Amino acid sequence: QVQLVQSGAEVKKPGASVRVSCKASGYSFTAYDIIWVRQAPGQGLEWMGWMNPDSTNTGYGQKFRGRVTMTRDTSITTAYMELSYLSSDDTAVYFCARAVRNDLLPDNWGQGTLVTVSS
Amino acid sequence: EIVLTQSPGTLSLSPGERATLSCRASQSMSRNYLAWYQQKPGQAPRLLVFATSNRATGIPDRFSGSGSGTDFTLTVSRLEPEDFAVYYCQISGGTPRTFGQGTRLEIK
């Protein structure tokens, strides 16, 4: 069955970077896109961007451009989201999801990774 | 940039009742690019409806979407206990793929 398993919770200091991984299994990794969405505590959903694991093309939300990088390692069917220059506003649960190519509608999600930014 | 505003913020209803959730766009948008999600506490969101009125795989037919232009609606015809959750609309095409702020559907 399709599974997306994310890396564990992280605690980072302001100004640092964090890399969250998303290990995919149960399907052809390069046939679907990966999207990233985050959710601050008690808040709504925020779109971060997408990556095509086949072409490595990416599209980032304007708010995150210059701070986010989405990559992948096809040998281990894992996608990564790295966010730099962290501030307390980046404290959130970060979700990855598999999405149908071109329309980016998610059909399977990871369990979420809590990133806490605190001095 | 299109902004999505959902109303009401909280909707209190009883099982068996009908729920009507609204999503208003700040400017007219394509029906092809409006999606709805459900999220329960501690869980990832789940896609319910895409392209305004198409149910995602496995979504019960008590969920239906409608609308056009700037006004979109998600209707749950007869609420089941498992339907009480937070619902988000989203611009699902172009950029940015903004979410609305959500409507909490709670048990009355």
DSSP state letters, A6-43: E---EEE-TT--EEEEEEEESS-GGGSEEEEEEE-TT-
**Percent of chain B residues topping a pLDDT of 70:** 100
* Average pLDDT of every residue of chain B: 96
CB contact under 8 A, B45 and A59: no
Shortest CB distance from B47 goes to which of A46, A106, A110? A106
CB contact under 8 A, A45 and B35: no
pLDDT given at position B23: 98
Does residue B97 belong to the interface with chain A, where contact is any CB pair within 8 Å?
A: yes
3-class DSSP assignment, residue B75: strand
Q: Which pLDDT band holds residue A101 (cuts at 50, 70, 90)?
A: confident
Cis peptide before B45 (omega within 30 of 0): no
Q: Which pLDDT band holds residue B1 (cuts at 50, 70, 90)?
A: confident
3-class DSSP assignment, residue B30: coil
Strand-pair partners of A23: A5, A78
* Average pLDDT of every residue of chain A: 96
CA atoms of A49 and B96, how far apart (whole Å): 9
- Are B11 and B76 in contact by the 8 Å Cβ rule? The answer is no
pLDDT at residue A102 is higher than 80 = no
pLDDT at residue B91 is higher than 80 = yes
pLDDT at residue A110 is higher than 80 = yes
pLDDT given at position B106: 97
Which has the closest alpha carbon to A68: A42, A40, A36?
A36
Q: Which pLDDT band holds residue B107 (cuts at 50, 70, 90)?
A: very high
pLDDT given at position B96: 83
Helix, strand and coil in chain B, % to nearest 5: 5, 55, 40
Q: Please give, rounded to a whole number of angstroms, the shortest distance from the CA of B71 to a CA of chain A.
A: 20
CB contact under 8 A, A103 and B98: no
pLDDT at residue B26 is higher than 80 = yes
pLDDT given at position B52: 96
Task: Report the residue of chain A nearest B32, measured CA to CA.
Answer: A103
pLDDT given at position B95: 77
Over residues B80-97, mean pLDDT = 93
Does residue B10 belong to the interface with chain A, where contact is any CB pair within 8 Å?
A: no
Q: Which pLDDT band holds residue B59 (cuts at 50, 70, 90)?
A: very high
DSSP secondary structure code for residue A87 in this structure: -
pLDDT given at position B63: 98
Q: Which pLDDT band holds residue A99 (cuts at 50, 70, 90)?
A: very high
pLDDT in tens, A17-64: 999 999 999 999 999 999 999 999 999 999 999 999 999 999 999 999
Does residue B9 belong to the interface with chain A, where contact is any CB pair within 8 Å?
A: no
Does residue B27 belong to the interface with chain A, where contact is any CB pair within 8 Å?
A: no
